[in-house]
Amino acid sequence: MNHIQHLAAVMDGNRRWAQQRGLANFLGHRKGVQPIREIIEVCLKHKIKYLSLYALSTENLKRGTEEVNFLIDLIIQGLTEHLPEFLANGVRVRFIGDRSYLPLAKLSSTKIAQVNQICDQVELATAHLTQLNLNFLFCYGAQQEILAAAKKLALRVAAGELQAQNITAQDLEDSLWTAGMPAPDLIIRPGNRPCMSNFLLYQGAYSELYHTEKLWPAMQQVDFELALTEFGQRRRSWGLTAPQKSIEP
């Protein structure tokens, strides 16, 4: 049975869930909040130490101003309301990404200040907790992350701290926004779209992928349990041997 140390998920399908029901997009985003609570409960139950959720990509910031404003308001409201639950359950919250990309969304300076304030507040308030490390990938893009890491290493070389020929994989990993975290063991990709969507491209090199036709707002604890069960039945190879064939739902 495989043990999961780090579970990750792409929260895809909010808009499609709403459109299938003839609803406004923002109602899909609102419905997509519930599965976050469900997957957190599953992680706490199974003593999974890391959970990474793709909350807002750098590409998402280029959507319509009204939609992005709603998403930011939803994040502010959700963090404010759920902070007591994080504290009660020992959940440390971190925001992985580069919030300097926020102006791409053409948000007001007030709204940018509000979301930065609540993110900082929640990170600080939960920094001492150890039951679960909950990472919201916010203003995140894997290509942007790798580029930022390359620039960081280049600056170290230019400063004479590091010789270019001596750069190791560990040096690169230590320069990523996820430095210090284990690579995800399993990445859940709902919405029947078997693609990575610029999500943890370096870290997910040998992650197991789990695809489901269900859209994110429709995901429940039973669906996350099913993903964990299937993962437990797989034989991981890390490129060394042929993996055991598994049946995707």
pLDDT (tens digit, 9 = 90+) per residue, 13-31? 999 999 999 999 889 999 9
Q: Of 14, 25, 60, 135, which is the active-site residue?
A: 60
> Domain limits at 156?
6-232
Instruction: Confirm whether 246 is domain-assigned.
Output: no
CB 33 within 8 A of CB 81: no
Q: Of 12, 14, 185, 198, which is the active-site residue?
A: 12
Instruction: Confirm whether 247 is domain-assigned.
Output: no
CB 200 within 8 A of CB 6: no
Total-model pTM: 0.92
Is 166 a catalytic site residue? no
Instruction: Confirm whether 196 is domain-assigned.
Output: yes
Instruction: Confirm whether 248 is domain-assigned.
Output: no
Sheet architecture: strand order including 91-96: 91-96, 132-140, 50-57, 6-10, 186-189, 208-211
Instruction: Confirm whether 245 is domain-assigned.
Output: no
Q: What is the CATH number of the domain that holds 222?
A: 3.40.1180.10
Is 60 a catalytic site residue? yes
Instruction: Confirm whether 1 is domain-assigned.
Output: no
Instruction: Confirm whether 242 is domain-assigned.
Output: no
Instruction: Confirm whether 183 is domain-assigned.
Output: yes
Secondary structure letter of residue 56 according to DSSP? E
Q: pLDDT for 78-120, tens place per residue?
A: 999 999 999 999 999 999 999 999 998 889 999 999 999 999 9
How many independent structural domains does the chain possess?
1
Instruction: Inform me whether the pLDDT recorded for 34 exceeds 80.
Output: yes
Count how many Cα atoms sit within 13 Å of the Cα of residue 120 in the half-sphere of its side chain: 8
